[in-house]
Structure 1
């Protein structure tokens, strides 16, 4: 069934609102609420970026990742932020997620959408005038559940082969 233009616009608006809500929760450090917007079968991957010639592939490692988490792994990351051992985020970073270029297409499974977006993350720590700007493209699968839209998969493809930030102790 082909969606009408009006249905496509309404769907994109709904998905954008969902992504913007996620960004707000992450910016405000409301990680448990953010995790509540994920499915229990989620896969969250940040592959290591490689600089290589076009003939040698797309430029992402197929074996090395910064993150490769399921729901339990994400839950542990969130729970760790509640402890005194989250030294990389205590005091917490000031983070702003800027989400743009949202594209929504039907996925192979019913009630799922292949969603592509770009994200620019600003991060500042402590009293330092230094800050990090990390640019990436996100490849999400968003699933419609009884409770609303939920993030079922996220692949974050960094634009950086070498990261200038001291750690990746934050979510994209």
Structure 2
């Protein structure tokens, strides 16, 4: 996100609307209401990525591969994942993970695009599976674009920048 874009401050109704959107999204995903999330909060034009992170020297930047992804999704592929989770064949998530999304440090900026906001936030995803006694923790920075469609905010783009270079989890059948 370009920090030179006009900032939306926390004392505005627009910031409150974005924050409410983020909290409701976390609630839907934590409650495994993935279909409701997809149909009510995700744009049909969405791009959803989790790029591969590498350990590199400081001069080479933050270490995200420009063309290699753990996840590179569209509305169609997200919809397929949600549909699969609704069947009896979602073995990777049966029984489903228990997940909590902790979203903090929300920063909102206006963009040059009509009705598009750039939202940057930090995410801590707490996940347990089956009878695990040690949770899996995934931390990341999210770079989102929200676009107003038919009067409501919709997720147009999400880039999840994981802090980990090695993901020690059984699968990535979860939504960030």
TM-score (norm 1): 0.94
Looking at structure 2, the residues matched to 131 and 170 of structure 1 have their Cα atoms a distance apart, in angstroms, of 15
What's the CA shift string for 1:98-152, capped at 9, x where partnerless? 0000000001201110000001000001112121010000000001121411110
Aligned residues: 170
Where structure 2 has 5 or more consecutive residues not aligned to the other structure, the ranges are: 1-5
Looking at structure 2, the residues matched to 60 and 127 of structure 1 have their Cα atoms a distance apart, in angstroms, of 33
Give the structure 2 partner of residue 153 of structure 1.
157
Q: Are 1:20 and 2:35 matched, yes or no?
A: no
Distance of aligned partners of 1:4 and 1:59 in 2 relative to their CA distance in 1, 3 Å threshold: closer
Looking at structure 2, the residues matched to 40 and 135 of structure 1 have their Cα atoms a distance apart, in angstroms, of 27
Q: Are 1:113 and 2:146 matched, yes or no?
A: no
Distance of aligned partners of 1:5 and 1:26 in 2 relative to their CA distance in 1, 3 Å threshold: closer
Where structure 1 has 5 or more consecutive residues not aligned to the other structure, the ranges are: none
Looking at structure 2, the residues matched to 5 and 17 of structure 1 have their Cα atoms a distance apart, in angstroms, of 15
The question of whether the paired residues in 2 share the 8 Å contact of 1:107 and 1:141 is answered with no
Give the structure 1 partner of residue 37 of structure 2.
34
Looking at structure 2, the residues matched to 146 and 163 of structure 1 have their Cα atoms a distance apart, in angstroms, of 38
Looking at structure 2, the residues matched to 4 and 94 of structure 1 have their Cα atoms a distance apart, in angstroms, of 33
Q: Are 1:72 and 2:76 matched, yes or no?
A: yes
Q: Are 1:102 and 2:91 matched, yes or no?
A: no
TM-score (norm 2): 0.92
1:46 Cα deviation from its structure 2 partner: 0.3
With 149-158 and 125-134 compared, the bigger mean Cα shift is at: 125-134
What's the CA shift string for 1:14-55, capped at 9, x where partnerless? 101001100000000000111021110000000011100011
Q: SS in structure 2 opposite 1:151?
A: strand
1:5 Cα deviation from its structure 2 partner: 6.0
Moved over 3 A (4+): 2-6
Query: What RMSD over aligned residues (CA atoms) do the two structures have, in Å?
Result: 1.7
Q: SS in structure 1 opposite 2:55?
A: coil
Looking at structure 2, the residues matched to 23 and 4 of structure 1 have their Cα atoms a distance apart, in angstroms, of 21
